[in-house]
């Protein structure tokens, strides 16, 4: 049966079907259309109007079949290797637990970690870290849209690798970037803080601040999960001199606030370091150091450090310690003075020891111990640093310098014996 053998409206419908469905449906081959034409042929005694309606029905069915056969967006799937998956979907990790996604993305979970996968789409998913540590690798794909939630913090990512830790007990967040970039939002980071490869964010509500430090030269090469604070087994651990903002909410600031201080803290949180420095210089730096509130000095010190103005940062931190001795911010200032001294090549051990004596369980105690250990190693060798390394491991077996401490202890034992 040819198109010409049916009435004109029906013929037009058949031509439309051929044009629209070609290549998309089993009905697009010649035999299929021949059968369609045969069914639509006008029989004796039947009205063309009825057959036209029947043609529309058949054509509608053909179009529906074609639409069903069109490629549909494929929602990502995942599988869990090892680990225990509860009825609610909560994954409790054992040794070697790994979540594999159909687009090549993966998350490796440290033993004891609890996580879940939610809101799967064709472009990504939400990975929820309830507690523990995991190494995340997100494949770089067009329109990729992933979120990793760790407690109250959300990491938005399109394609990258990083280690993330959330402690429900201490309400502390730790994120160490390997590749790519992300944006972190949450308490103390409501506007979002961008992180790039090699950077390290740590802190949280309990500490009252989030700190972002520059990346270390040694990087994680293994995709297996490790505590997010243990990035390397290298003894040489250096950081870039420029860091992104910490978000200070120093305790002890009550009673010293002023109308300008919230503006400075907010500007530092948004990365406007030079603007804060300019405002302080317009007011008069000496005047600010002598009469500024603790909150102002804390924000100004951060702005100076992040802008690379070490000389100003040192003056502000010394003013904090002198004017507000005993406050949490003044104690923290000792650690940052150690960092400045270390970066300038002038040591830093004395300041780290002072910080540890004043804040043995402070937010930066692990780092102060680790940096003191590294400086002793550089200046006096493994034998001098080994006692500090041993104490560090007893206090912080999973701390950021634990791998270096183990290597240092091994080196000292190899040279001097047990």
pLDDT for 60 equals 56
What is the rounded distance in angstroms from the CA atom of residue 364 to the CA atom of residue 332? Answer: 8
CA distance readout (Å), 349 to 7, 355, 371, 372, 392: 97, 10, 8, 5, 15
Please name the fold of domain 261-363: 1.25.40
> What does the pLDDT average to over 16-37?
44
Which of the listed ranges 206-210, 239-243, 327-331, 400-404 does the model predict with the highest average pLDDT?
327-331
Which of the listed ranges 5-9, 44-48, 120-124 does the model predict with the highest average pLDDT?
120-124
pLDDT at 248 over 80: no
Strand partners, 148: 127, 155
Task: Give which of 355, 359, 370 is closest to 400, Cα–Cα.
Answer: 370
Per-residue pLDDT tens digits for 261-306: 347 877 776 667 888 999 999 999 999 999 999 989 988 998 888 7
Please, which contacts does 49-55 make with residues 24 or more away whose CB atoms are closer than 8 Å? 51/7, 51/10, 52/7, 52/9, 52/10, 55/9, 55/10, 55/13, 55/14
Q: Residue holding tokens 């009435």?
A: 7
pLDDT at 404 over 60: yes
What value does the mean pLDDT of the chain take?
74
What is the rounded distance in angstroms from the CA atom of residue 130 to the CA atom of residue 372? Answer: 33
Of 43 and 81, the structure prediction assigns the larger pLDDT to 81
Asked which of 283-292, 322-331, 393-402 is least confident by mean pLDDT, the reply is 393-402
pLDDT for 31 equals 45
Cβ-based neighbour number of residue 401 at 10 Å: 27
CA distance readout (Å), 178 to 103, 210, 211: 20, 19, 17
Query: Within the chain, what is the greatest distance between any pair of CA atoms?
Result: 110
Question: Residue 68 contacts by C-beta under 8 Å, 6 or more apart in sequence?
Answer: none
> What does the pLDDT average to over 328-339?
90
What is the rounded distance in angstroms from the CA atom of residue 181 to the CA atom of residue 179? Answer: 7
> What does the pLDDT average to over 241-265?
41
pLDDT for 113 equals 92
Record the pTM. 0.46
Kind of pairing, strands 126-138 and 146-150?
A: parallel
- Any alpha helices (H) in 324-364, and if so which ranges? 328-343, 349-358
Per-residue pLDDT tens digits for 152-187: 888 988 678 999 998 877 778 899 998 988 988 887
Question: Residue 226 contacts by C-beta under 8 Å, 6 or more apart in sequence?
Answer: 110, 133, 135, 163, 220
Q: With pLDDT > 90 as the criterion, what percentage of the chain qualifies?
A: 22
Of 89 and 288, the structure prediction assigns the larger pLDDT to 288
Q: In degrees to the nearest 10, what's the CA dihedral of 271, 277, 279, 284? A: 160
Task: Give which of 123, 376, 62, 293 is closest to 391, Cα–Cα.
Answer: 376
Q: In degrees to the nearest 10, what's the CA dihedral of 304, 308, 311, 313? A: 30
> What does the pLDDT average to over 145-155?
89
What is the rounded distance in angstroms from the CA atom of residue 221 to the CA atom of residue 231? Answer: 9
pLDDT for 51 equals 42
> What does the pLDDT average to over 59-66?
53
Class of 78-213 in CATH: mainly beta
Q: pLDDT tier at 258 (50, 70, 90 boundaries)? A: very low
What is the rounded distance in angstroms from the CA atom of residue 344 to the CA atom of residue 355? Answer: 19
Strand partners, 204: 172, 209
Of 171 and 58, the structure prediction assigns the larger pLDDT to 171
Per-residue pLDDT tens digits for 356-389: 999 988 878 888 888 898 889 888 888 888 899 8
């Amino acid at each position: 049966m040819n198109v010409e053998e049916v009435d004109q409206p029906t013929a037009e419908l058949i031509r439309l079907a051929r044009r629209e469905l070609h290549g998309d449906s089993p009905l697009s081959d010649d035999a299929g259309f021949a059968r369609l034409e045969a069914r639509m042929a006008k029989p004796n005694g039947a009205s063309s109007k009825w057959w036209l309606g029947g043609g529309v029905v058949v054509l509608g069915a053909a179009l529906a079949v074609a639409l069903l056969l069109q490629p549909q967006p494929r929602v990502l799937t995942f599988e869990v290797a090892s680990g225990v998956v509860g009825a609610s979907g909560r994954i409790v990790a054992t040794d070697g637990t790994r979540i594999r996604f159909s687009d090549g993305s993966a998350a490796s979970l440290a033993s004891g970690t609890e996580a879940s996968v939610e809101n799967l789409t064709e472009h990504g998913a939400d990975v929820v870290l309830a507690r523990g540590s995991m190494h995340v690798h997100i494949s770089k794909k067009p329109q990729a849209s992933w979120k990793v939630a760790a407690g109250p913090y959300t990491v938005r990512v399109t394609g990258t690798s990083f280690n993330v830790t959330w402690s429900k007990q201490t309400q502390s967040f730790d994120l160490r970037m390997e590749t790519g970039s992300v944006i972190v939002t949450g308490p103390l980071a409501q506007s979002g803080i961008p992180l790039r490869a090699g950077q390290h964010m740590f802190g949280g509500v309990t500490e009252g601040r989030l700190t972002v430090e520059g990346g270390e030269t040694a990087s994680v090469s293994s995709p297996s999960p490790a505590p997010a604070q243990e990035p390397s087994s290298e003894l040489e651990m250096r950081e870039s001199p420029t860091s992104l903002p910490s978000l200070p909410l120093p305790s002890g600031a009550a009673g010293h606030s002023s109308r300008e201080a919230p503006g400075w803290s907010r500007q530092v949180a948004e990365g406007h370091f030079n603007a804060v420095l300019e405002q302080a210089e317009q007011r008069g730096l000496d005047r600010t150091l002598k009469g500024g509130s603790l909150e102002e000095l804390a924000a100004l010190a951060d702005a100076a450090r992040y802008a690379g103005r070490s000389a100003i940062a040192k003056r502000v931190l010394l003013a904090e310690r002198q004017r507000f001795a005993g406050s949490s911010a003044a104690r923290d200032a000792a650690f940052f003075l150690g960092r400045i001294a270390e970066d300038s090549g002038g040591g830093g051990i004395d300041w780290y020891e002072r910080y540890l004596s004043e804040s043995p369980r402070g937010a930066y105690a692990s780092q102060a111990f680790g940096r003191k250990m590294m400086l002793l190693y550089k200046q006096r060798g493994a034998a001098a640093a080994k006692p500090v390394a041993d104490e560090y491991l007893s206090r912080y077996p999973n701390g950021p310098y634990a791998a270096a401490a183990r290597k240092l202890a091994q080196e000292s034992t190899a040279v001097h014996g047990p």
